[in-house]
Chain A
Amino acid sequence: MYTFLLRRILSTLPVLVIVAVLVFLVLRLAPGDPAAILAGDAASTEQIARIRVQLGLDKPIVAQFAIWAGNLLSGDLGESFYYKMKVTTLIGQRLEPTLALATLTILVAVLVAVPLGVAAAWRFGGWFDRALMGFSVLGFSVPVFVLAYILIYVVSLKLGLLPVQGYRRIGDGFWPFLRHLILPSVTLSVIYIALIARVTRASVLEALGEDYIRTARAKGLTELRVLVRHALANAAVPIVTVVGIGIALLIGGVVVTESVYAIPGLGRLTVDAVLARDFPTVQGLILFFSFTYVLVNLLIDLSYVFLDPRIRY
């Protein structure tokens, strides 16, 4: 087990390095001058040049990379060009909203999708199955922002049940925190419900075709027990995989939801940083996402050990 872990960690290091170098180069070789952006409207060309020196952009690219990589090894992701703050602080401030939204979304998605998928597989070919497949395709065909606007209009403005926007920190009270997260997570969860329901259905279907299901039924177990204890448990591996990928995506890829609901998450931080040519922040964030992705993949693989006794490392 431990050699497996070690090998895995070692094999992912090159990935992180490649990502780091790629992002670094792409940012610096691209048009768009962070110094000009920061200098503002009435700045002259010499003032912009002086700011470039301040940001360290006048040094050759290799030197810039060496400085950044060196700092990286001591855990310092550098300071944002745009805000006078450490990149680690910026990321830290946005972790709570992002993780809260991701957790609630996945929770809602799993709680809704898994039972639906199991039910569809159980009644394979029936009207419920067909309806689910139909709705799930719809689920990942409607763009997130359209769904968001509709939900806000109906639930928040017309019915007045929930706030239209914003994020409340958990430290300021649990109920406001939750109320502000309901609409965004429901909006986001639609796609994940669609995906997870499909995967659940497909893999439970496969499990239901196995011999041990016939045995279980023959033993006289209740259908519910057969479905959950035997079929679902054996179908868990692909479901957990999709859930894991979903979590990784929710950490960084939900810019649109964050924009429409005014949630200060990591997605918006990245987009704002890219548009502002805030190199250190973009680099730090991309590294962070890669690291999260690698971590999530590792956790998924480790979870297989518990889910499927046949898998051993």
Chain B
Amino acid sequence: MPIKRAIAGAAAVLTTAAILGFGGAARAQGDTKTLRVVPHSNLAVLDPIWTTAYISRNHGYMIYDTLFGTDEKSQIKPQMVDTWTESPDHRLWTFKLRKGLEFHDGKPVTGEDVIASLARWGKRDSMGVALFGFVDRMDTPAPDTFRIFLREPCGFVLEALGKPSSNVPFIMPKRVAETDAFKQIDDYTGSGPYIFKKDEFKPGDKAVYVKNPKYVPRKEPPSGSTGGKHVYVDRVEMNLALRDAQAQVNALQKGEVDIIEQPAFPLIPALKKDPNIVVYNYSPVPLQFMARFNHLLKPFDNPKVRQAVEAAFAQEPFLRAQVGVKELYKTCPSMFTCGTPYASAFGSEIQSKSNMKKAQELLKASGYDGTPVLLMKPTDLAAIDKLPDVAAQLLRQAGFKVDLQAMDWNTLVGRRAKKDPVDKGGWNMFLTAWQGPDIWNPIANAALDTRGEQSGWFGWAKDDKIVALRNQFMRETDIGKKKKLAEQIQARAFEIGTHVPLGEFDSPLAARKNISGFFRQTGNFYWNLKKN
């Protein structure tokens, strides 16, 4: 009968194919000119100005270039800019762009593109908004020159323009940068070392970048987001489908992928033992965990209660539970990334020199009335999902009532934005992690924006003293005075309990041994890499 024969025929074909397939050689290596990367999260938003998500920032670094960058010693160095001058009264900055800068469509990069890009960035980024508070106007007297006129001296112009992390002031063509800052762009032309292949982009599946043959790298060696961005591969493929942590490691060990951006902590010791794999800590500065209060609602509207929490939250239990691998974490008393210019232990005694008994006493003395703490726990972010369990345990030991609620990260983000009372969908505390550059000075550190409900970061801390100190910091140009101001800000922040810093950790990448060219960076950059 026809059906039977058809089935037999199909079976024969399949078996043959399977056998031949088994015999197929070690295709697993892929070709030597394509780099296969597993990024730390799914890439959804392709506009790095529209969102602060690190994955979108990394995408930005592939296809755009920046005016300045931050090197591995946290120094600001020029990237697209060739020379610049600052007027003696600090109010006029003139910049000249390097030669040979071109967008992917062949048009040269001009001052007009720069000004438009900066204006759009200045509407979304917190440091950008702060900078534009000083800006009177910008103009471009020649195609390769642009000028910024300030109303008063500003102490962080270059730090802002060379900001390494979200949002990065990437330079886009004028026509793209004129898109409303609250609408996503849909044209991904840039002037960076890679070109985005929009036609090959499959959300949740893969994102593809090809080498930009016309890119002119700087002469210096690469360091952080500065230096020469030479590309030694033809293609980079981001694998967006592989989200299971164990499957990622399996794939790396079998050579099915080349790099994992953020292998899960518990799997790192096994990766280190594998002779075909290299575990590399690329970031010169560590990341930091923090616990954030909702200052608008009970019980954390009372600074004495917040102090009790600072006393209860010793950093070690959090680090041990979440990271676990001893070489990867250490405590850090500062609210600014340890090892960077503004870090100090000033004012941190309430946390570092404390113990649970003290916390219990502080809580009793504060007049805490037993209001339960609604603690939000994300279930789908392996990097921070154990912190709330530790927090709940410590809070309970101190004498708090705790309501630990689990939700996916997106629900948490939605709930976090609400100022309503807890029974109407509000919250009391959440925990998160920041990359070093995002918290290493008082301007970038969103948790220290204490303008209250108006525009402070979620949590809405309010303190006029810190606001005044921050404004002073913004205007100060002397590094010694800036450090002193930072100390004072930190001391005050600990005193009123803006948030609780929970220690620092490294998040290394893992790669096949045949990938070389890694260098210190505060992001995930894919230039300078060779696949041998």
Q: A54-B182, A276-B44 are in contact. Are A32 and B411 (CB under 8 A)?
A: yes
Size category of the A interface is 35 or more
Pick the residue among B17, B184, B247 that contacts A164 (CB under 8 A): B247
Is A272 a contact of B250 with CB atoms below 8 Å?
A: no
| B446 and A38 within 8 A (CB) | no
CA distance A47 to B181 in the complex (A): 10
**Taking chain A's interface residues, is the majority helix, strand, or loop, or is none over half, making it mixed?**
helix
| CB of A159, distance to nearest CB on chain B (Å) | 11
A210 at interface (Cβ–Cβ under 8 A)? no
Interface contact A48-B24, CB-CB below 8 Å: no
Q: Mark A17-36, 1 if CB is under 8 A from B, else 0.
A: 00000000000000111001
Among B45-53, B276-284, B389-397, B514-522, the one that faces the other chain is: B45-53
Given A36-B417, A50-B182, decide whether A176 and B250 contact each other with a Cβ distance below 8 A.
no
Task: Known A176-B27, A262-B242; judge A36-B414 contact (CB<8 A).
Answer: yes
Q: Which of B28, B52, B419 contacts A40 (CB 8 A)?
A: B52
CA distance A36 to B204 in the complex (A): 20
Please determine whether A165 and B203 come into contact, CB atoms closer than 8 angstroms.
Answer: no
- B46: which of A84, A161, A182 is its contact (CB, 8 Å)? A84
The interface size bin for chain B is 35 or more
In the bound complex, CA of A223 to CA of B124 (Å): 78
Q: How far is the CB of A263 from chain B (nearest CB, A)?
A: 7
Residues of A within 8 A of B203 (CB): 80, 82-83, 85, 90, 93
Distance (Å) between the CB of B182 and the closest chain A CB?
5
Complex alpha-carbon distance, A264 and B201, angstroms: 13
| Interface flags, B394-421, vs A, CB<8A=1, else 0 | 0000000000000010110111110100
Task: Tell me which residues across on chain A come within 8 A of B446, comparing CB atoms.
Answer: 42
Residue pair A31, B1 in contact (C-beta under 8 Å): no
Is residue B241 within 8 Å, beta carbon to beta carbon, of the partner chain? yes
* 8 Å CB interface, A127-165 against B: 149, 152, 156-157, 160-165
Judge if A111 is at the interface, Cβ distance under 8 Å. yes
Chain B residues with CB under 8 Å of A47's CB are 124, 182
A38, A178, A179: which contacts B45 (Cβ < 8 A)? A38
Contact of B204 among A40, A162, A272 (CB under 8 A): A272
Complex Cα–Cα for A107 and B14 (A): 10
A33 touches B53 (CB 8 A): no
Within A171-196, the residues touching B (CB, 8 Å) are 174-176, 178-179, 182
Q: B250 contacts which chain A residues (CB < 8 A)?
A: 152, 156-157, 164-165
A176 to B17, CA, bound (A): 10
The yes or no answer to A299 lying at the interface (CB within 8 A) is no
Q: Count chain B CB atoms within 10 A of each CB in A32, A41, A80, A275 and give the residue with the most.
A: A41
Q: A277–B417 Cα gap in the complex (Å)?
A: 15
A259 touches B11 (CB 8 A): no
In the complex, the answer to whether B166 meets A42 with C-beta atoms within 8 Å is yes
The answer to whether B244 and A31 touch across the interface, beta carbons within 8 angstroms, is no
Least Cβ–Cβ distance between B133 and chain A, in angstroms: 15
Q: How far is the CA of A101 from the CA of B251 in the complex (A)?
A: 20
B28 adjacent to A31 (CB under 8 Å):
no
CB-based contact A82/B24 at 8 Å = no
Distance in angstroms between the alpha carbons of A266 and B45 in the assembled complex? 20
Given A85-B203, A260-B244, A275-B408, is A111 in contact with B256 using a C-beta cutoff of 8 Å?
no
Is the C-beta of B425 less than 8 angstroms from some C-beta in chain A?
yes
User: A259: nearest residue on chain B (CB-CB)?
Assistant: B244
A93 nearest in chain B by CB position = B202
B254 adjacent to chain A (CB < 8 Å): yes
| A42 vs B28: C-alpha distance when bound (angstroms) | 40
Considering the complex, give the chain B residue whose CB is closest to the CB of A163: B256
- Across the interface, A156 reaches (CB within 8 A) one of B27, B183, B254, namely B254
Q: Which of B21, B183, B251 is close to A179, meaning CB atoms less than 8 Å apart? A: B21
Pair B21/A39 contact, Cβ less than 8 Å: no
* Chain A min CB distance to B400 (Å): 25
Q: Which of the listed residues A42, A43, A276 has the most CB atoms from chain B within 10 Å of its own CB?
A: A42
**C-alpha spacing A40/B57, complex, angstroms:** 12
Asked whether B22 lies within 8 Å of A161 as measured between CB atoms, the reply is yes
Tell me if B270 is interfacial: C-beta within 8 Å of chain A: no
- Asked if B241 and A164 sit within 8 Å, CB to CB, the answer is no
- Measured between beta carbons, the chain B residues less than 8 angstroms from A176 are 21, 24, 27
Q: Decide if A167 is an interface residue (CB 8 Å cutoff).
A: yes
A254 to chain B, nearest CB (A): 14
The residues of B that contact A149 with a CB separation of less than 8 Å are 246
In the complex, residue of chain A having the shortest beta-carbon distance to the beta carbon of B51: A40
Distance between Cα atoms of A163 and B205 in the complex (Å):
17
Contact A179 B24 (CB under 8 A): yes
Q: Which residues of A contact B414 (CB under 8 A)?
A: 31-33, 36-37, 277
Tell me if A166 counts as interface (CB < 8 A to partner B).
yes
- Of B20, B184, B457, the residue contacting A84 (CB under 8 A) is B184
Contact, CB under 8 Å: A43 / B183: no
Q: Are B7 and A111 in contact (CB under 8 A)?
A: yes
Q: Is the CB of A174 within 8 A of B17?
A: yes
Q: Which of B35-65 contact A (CB under 8 A)?
A: 42, 44-46, 51-53
Residues A178 and B242 in contact in the complex (CB < 8 Å), given A32-B414, A41-B52, A41-B53 = no
Residues of B within 8 A of A269 (CB): 204
Greatest chain B CB density within 10 A among A47, A83, A107, A179 is at A83
Tell whether A100 is near chain B: CB-to-CB under 8 Å. no
Q: Judge if A44 is at the interface, Cβ distance under 8 Å.
A: yes
Q: Mark B1-41, 1 if CB is under 8 A from A, else 0.
A: 10010010011001001101110100110000000000000
A 258-288 binary contact with B (CB < 8 Å = 1; else 0): 0111111000110010011100000000000
Any chain B CB within 8 A of the CB of A51?
Answer: yes
**B20 nearest CB across to chain A (Å):** 6
The yes or no answer to A8 lying at the interface (CB within 8 A) is no
Which single residue of chain A is at the shortest CB-CB distance from B254?
A164
Contacts of B87 in A (CB 8 A): none
Report whether B410 and A40 are in contact in the complex, using a CB–CB cutoff of 8 Å.
Answer: no
Chain B 312-355 per-residue mask, 1 if CB under 8 angstroms from chain A, else 0:
00000000000000000000000000000000000000000000
State which residues 247-282 of B face A: CB under 8 Å.
Answer: 247, 250-251, 253-254, 256
Q: How far is the CA of A85 from the CA of B242 in the complex (A)?
A: 21
**Per-position 1/0 for A99-123, Cβ under 8 A of B:** 0000000010001000000000000
Q: Does A228 contact B (CB under 8 A)?
A: yes
For B425-438 the 0/1 string (1 means CB < 8 A from A) is 10000001000000
| Nearest CB on A from B504, distance (A) | 19
* A45 at the binding interface (Cβ < 8 Å): yes
Which residues from B are CB-within-8-Å of A38?
Answer: 45, 51
A residues in contact with B14, CB < 8 Å:
107
A-B pairs, 9 with minimum CB distance: A264-B205, A40-B51, A262-B242, A33-B414, A164-B250, A83-B203, A36-B414, A40-B52, A37-B410
Interchain residue pairs with CB less than 8 A apart (12): A32-B414, A33-B417, A38-B51, A80-B203, A85-B203, A111-B11, A149-B246, A164-B247, A165-B247, A166-B256, A259-B244, A262-B244
Interface residue ranges, A against B (CB under 8 Å): 31-33, 36-48, 50-51, 54, 80, 82-85, 90, 93-94, 107, 111, 149, 152, 156-157, 160-167, 174-176, 178-179, 182, 228-229, 259-264, 268-269, 272, 275-277
Which B residues lie at the A interface, using CB under 8 A? 1, 4, 7, 10-11, 14, 17-18, 20-22, 24, 27-28, 42, 44-46, 51-53, 124, 126, 166, 182-184, 186, 202-205, 239-244, 246-247, 250-251, 253-254, 256, 380, 408, 410-411, 413-417, 419, 425, 432, 446, 455, 457
If A166-B251, A178-B21, A264-B204 are given as contacts, then 5 extra A-B residue pairs at C-beta distance below 8 Å, sorted by A number, are A54-B183, A93-B203, A111-B11, A260-B247, A275-B410
